Amino acid sequence: MRLHRLVVGLADRVFRCHLRPAVKTLFEKIYDGEIPAEIIHKDDFCCAFRDISPQAPTHVLIVPRKPVPRICEADAEDQTLLGHLLLTATAIARDLGLAESGFRIAINNGPHGGETVPHLHIHLLGGRQLEWPPG
């Protein structure tokens, strides 16, 4: 049983690292500059750009370079990356003057979560009073 788990884990890792489809996700293309976007931050691990269809005066997406499809599929190996995304989102909120008025960060996962782009991203929303509960 342990051997089985080991083999399955190894196969998953090989698939994710080496046999991933060569087709880039929409957000990889934005990260690589192949699709234009208003980029407001870029580093070796993530980039942030304005949402094409903003739901608030400030609506920024923070996207890891690594194409993890959704938060549900992140694993222990992504722990540092996830922390980096959250800290980057907060730093951007501060830079855009949202720290005092407040803001929301959200991650949509799967159909009921409202996910439409299968490449993990954090929404940073601010600049107006946001409703709770969300629709």
Q: How far apart are CA 43 and CA 64, in angstroms?
A: 10
Please state, in angstroms and rounded to a whole number, the distance separating the CA atoms of residues 22 and 66. Answer: 13
134 is an interface residue for ligand 5GP by CB under 6 A: no
25 binds ligand 5GP (CB under 6 A): no
What are the C-alpha distances in Å from 50 to residues 5, 11, 17, 19, 70? Answer: 41, 36, 29, 31, 19
Site track for ligand 5GP across 48-87, x = CB under 6 A: -x-xxx-------x--------------------------
Instruction: Give the residue with the Cβ less far from ligand 5GP, 103 or 115.
Output: 115
Give me the catalytic one of 84, 112, 119, 121: 121
In the complex, minimum distance from the CB of residue 44 to ligand 5GP, in angstroms, rounded to a whole number: 21
Per the omega criterion (within 30 degrees of 0), is the bond before 133 cis?
yes
Catalytic positions are 121
